[in-house]
Amino acid sequence: MSELIADIAVSIPLKQLFSYRVPEILIDSIQVGIRVKIPFGRRVTIGFVLSLRQGQAGDLKDIKEILDEEPILTPELIKLLRWAADYYCHPIGQVIRTSLPAGLGSEKSNPKILTEAFYKPLKQNICLRGKKQQELLQFIVQQGSVGLTQIREQFPSPYPVLQRLVEIGALEVSKQECLRDPFATEKLLNDKCLTLNRAQVKAVEEITPSIQHHVFAGFLLHGVTGSGKTEVYLHAVDQCLRADRQALILVPEISLTPQLVARFRTRFETTGVGIAVLHSGLSAGERYDAWREIVRNNIQIVIGARSAIFAPLHNLGLIVIDEEHDSSYKQGEGFRYNARDLALVRGQQQNCPVLLGSATPSFASYYRSEQGALTRLMLDKRVHGGDLPKVELVDLKDQVVEGTLSNSLIEAIQQALERREQILLLLNRRGFAPFLLCTDCGESFHCPNCEITLTYHQRSRELRCHYCDYVDAVPEHCHKCQGLNIEPQGAGTERLEQELEELFPSAMIARMDRDTTSCKGAHQKIMTEMLAHKIDILVGTQMIAKGHDFPGVALVCVLGADSILNFPDFRSGERSFSLLTQVAGRAGRASGGGRVFIQSYNPDHYALTCAAKQDYRDFYQQELPFRQELGYPPYGHLVNLVFSGNNNPQVQTAASQFGHFLSGIAQAVEVLGPSPCPLARLRGKSRYQILLKSATRPQLRRLLDQLDNGMKQLPRQVNLNIDVDPIDML
């Protein structure tokens, strides 16, 4: 006898689906894309229904319970997730769990659907004795239907009166779903639809036909900083809405979301367009509500960080990836997907154009545009017609530097403050100092879980590991020699902030890094104060360089450029050029010009000289031969295999045996390693890596398809993480 069978994904480290019988009582309510409770081994867990079919159930177990009244995964999203699981070699159940709002894939927690009591008048001509009853009933009659929250704002302690009005039949009470609004305390901007210049008009005209004809096309919007890329996004989204389709906009950092959301809300929300935000800075309930509204087709525009690529949009008409070069689009742990690359795949699957925007495109995207796979759209001038900022490279070999700032930078900051101009200072290292050092014996203080020194945070008086969050108190003496001369070495944003406070006591100084923006709304508060000119000097890590539009900033200073340039990674030059060009572009955005100072011991490096000229093409042509010679992207394809475990010899042996296995079956794929990872010990685990490199992707894919045979030989205590198209190999 044929029965209904559900193929279900479970969030475990296994790639296959599991089949369950759908009991007769659940047949009418079972749907593809919903969550169910299923028996799995000795426990009950949550699974995701990916397909339904008729067949012989045999001894299959029954589904116990259905958790959703409506699907939380759309057919389009399921297709994308299955593709991603296959490409990134990751179990489908864990891929789905990563894509969903927090709590939806867990047995331990589940966001609640909020409901609110609403009161509706039944009888108006009813004799009421009390004045409170008369006033409350009149208020509800005028409104037609009123929620309890709104009633409480007008009438203190209204419950007894409401209960009495319900008892005598004057009111009817019902419960309605109440959505959590992340915009509740935010005000709309005075943003106007600007007239586009010729280059912007041409860009929008190139994109529009693909939106109207429902076809995939990839575009690279390469515009200098301040060239009006966001306005192109807004006009392209407007064309998308006119075609009655939905738009998805991704940004690399949560800190960029409020400013972009405010512009989109101002432009579109007043016309009745539904806008949702998806990022980890929201509460689980806010993300859950936004997700369900998207599934119900009540949302036309979704804005978010990396994970928003999985928003369950049915009718996508445009995907925008802002600052597409940013490494934040790559997930660093677990399911290691790249949201930029998945955007291109989703565009192909749902027949919609994908617009990648950046002043410093990634090598991969620029190379694709050179090969014709992406259409390049150029914005080579700032919208106000002003000049790009003047960049000066400060050679520290010729400077006397007592603290963090050279004399030339101190003088430039003083002059900017006298002109009442705002200043940005970038130092891409948070904390007060990278480490503490005993000057008597040379001992430093290390994280017991990771092979790195602990960062000193002076204000909280603690040593902290920025990888595993281990925290220790600042020692009073050296644990090795018992010496008392313990000094901070190097500088972070906290130390720079203190130095500026001493040098410029009358200036209003703020700091923007992970330590100061961990609370909800902290990013928005700093940005609002910058726009209101309540901050004179803003110190920060790389998050201040990404996409912010601060019209009052006329001076930008970059410290510690050499630490980025000398990072042990083949992309260090590309990262340095991008970061320096991006942060330099924050200067002079309103009036043109502006000044930028970059401190370095190696100012003649081509990454710095090209950044000073804001010349991407020159940098690309100088960097490309190195990539070609070594076979690195875009001339080759990489997969990084990371082995980890508690026992170092066991991990090393397992990685070595796996390397021999790969070398025996690899064809046209170079197997490099195993070798210790740059961070050889992390969160208590010893780590080794094998790098796979191939000139062609098909050969690499064939090798990856055979990894399961080797993984079966790994000890249980050794874990293997597969990173396809790695961005860094720490």
- Among the listed ranges 178-182, 249-253, 304-308, 402-406, which one has the minimum average pLDDT value? 178-182
How many other CB atoms are found less than 10 A from the CB of residue 45? 19
Q: Check which CATH number belongs to the domain holding 64 and give it.
A: 3.40.1440.60
Q: Check which CATH number belongs to the domain holding 702 and give it.
A: 3.30.70.600
Q: Is the pLDDT of residue 111 over 80?
A: no
Q: Check which CATH number belongs to the domain holding 282 and give it.
A: 3.40.50.300
Is 515 found in the same domain as 397? yes
Q: What pLDDT sits at residue 189?
A: 60
Model confidence band, residue 516 (pLDDT cutoffs 50, 70, 90): confident
Q: What pLDDT sits at residue 479?
A: 84
Final residue belonging to a domain, choices 585, 602, 626: 626
Is 564 found in the same domain as 424? yes
Model confidence band, residue 476 (pLDDT cutoffs 50, 70, 90): confident
Q: Is the pLDDT of residue 203 over 70?
A: yes
Residue 446 covered by a domain: no
Residue 672 covered by a domain: yes
The two three-digit tokens of residue 99, written as one number: 């894509």
Q: What pLDDT sits at residue 58?
A: 86
Is 695 found in the same domain as 668? yes
The two three-digit tokens of residue 493, written as one number: 């944003």
Q: What pLDDT sits at residue 548?
A: 73
Q: Print burial letters for 285-310: b (CB count within 10 Å at least 16), e (below 16).
A: bbbbbbbbebbeeebbbbbbbbbbbb
User: Model confidence over 313-330: pLDDT tens digits?
Assistant: 999 999 999 999 999 999
At 523, give phi and psi (nearest 5°): -60, -50
Task: Look at the chain and report how many structural domains it folds into.
Answer: 5
Is 332 found in the same domain as 232? yes
Residue 452 covered by a domain: no
Is 204 found in the same domain as 171? no
Is 546 found in the same domain as 417? yes
Final residue belonging to a domain, choices 626, 654, 671: 626
Tell me how far apart the alpha carbons of residues 410 and 399 are, in angstroms, rounded to a whole number: 12
Host domain of residue 58: 3-99
Is 426 found in the same domain as 573? yes
Residue 477 covered by a domain: no
Residue partners of 86: CB distance under 8 A and separation at least 6 = none
Question: What number is the average pLDDT over the span 275-293?
Answer: 83
Question: What number is the average pLDDT over the span 364-384?
Answer: 92
- Among the listed ranges 101-105, 166-170, 394-398, 710-714, which one has the minimum average pLDDT value? 101-105
Q: Is the pLDDT of residue 201 over 60?
A: yes
Q: Check which CATH number belongs to the domain holding 157 and give it.
A: 1.10.10
Question: What number is the average pLDDT over the span 269-284?
Answer: 82
Tell me how far apart the alpha carbons of residues 387 and 383 are, in angstroms, rounded to a whole number: 10
Q: What pLDDT sits at residue 266?
A: 86
**Identity of the amino acid at 202:** K
Q: What pLDDT sits at residue 224?
A: 87
Residue partners of 184: CB distance under 8 A and separation at least 6 = none
Final residue belonging to a domain, choices 68, 99, 130: 99
Tell me how far apart the alpha carbons of residues 322 and 253 are, in angstroms, rounded to a whole number: 10
Question: What number is the average pLDDT over the span 98-123?
Answer: 74
Give the DSSP letter of residue 557: E
Tell me how far apart the alpha carbons of residues 351 and 358 are, in angstroms, rounded to a whole number: 23
Q: Is the pLDDT of residue 592 over 70?
A: no
Residue 279 covered by a domain: yes
Is 375 found in the same domain as 293? yes
Question: What number is the average pLDDT over the span 441-447?
Answer: 90
Q: What pLDDT sits at residue 301?
A: 95
Question: What number is the average pLDDT over the span 142-150?
Answer: 79
Residue 451 covered by a domain: no
Residue 248 covered by a domain: yes
Is 537 found in the same domain as 591? yes
What is the helix, strand, coil percentage profile of the chain, to 5?
Answer: 35, 25, 40
Q: Is the pLDDT of residue 390 over 70?
A: yes
Q: What pLDDT sits at residue 190?
A: 62
Model confidence band, residue 216 (pLDDT cutoffs 50, 70, 90): very high
Output 549 or 661, whichever has higher pLDDT.
661
Complete DSSP assignment for 188-240: PP----PPP-HHHHHHHHHHHHHHHTT---EEEEEE-TTS-HHHHHHHHHHHH
Residue 631 covered by a domain: no
Residue pair 176/149 in contact by the 8 Å Cβ criterion: no
Q: Is the pLDDT of residue 659 over 90?
A: yes
CA atoms within 13 A on the CB side of 312: 25
The widest CA-to-CA distance across the chain, in whole angstroms, is 92
Q: What pLDDT sits at residue 186?
A: 59
Is 548 found in the same domain as 417? yes
Question: What number is the average pLDDT over the span 371-394?
Answer: 87
At 243, give phi and psi (nearest 5°): -85, 10
Is 665 found in the same domain as 614? no
Model confidence band, residue 164 (pLDDT cutoffs 50, 70, 90): confident
Is 82 found in the same domain as 49? yes
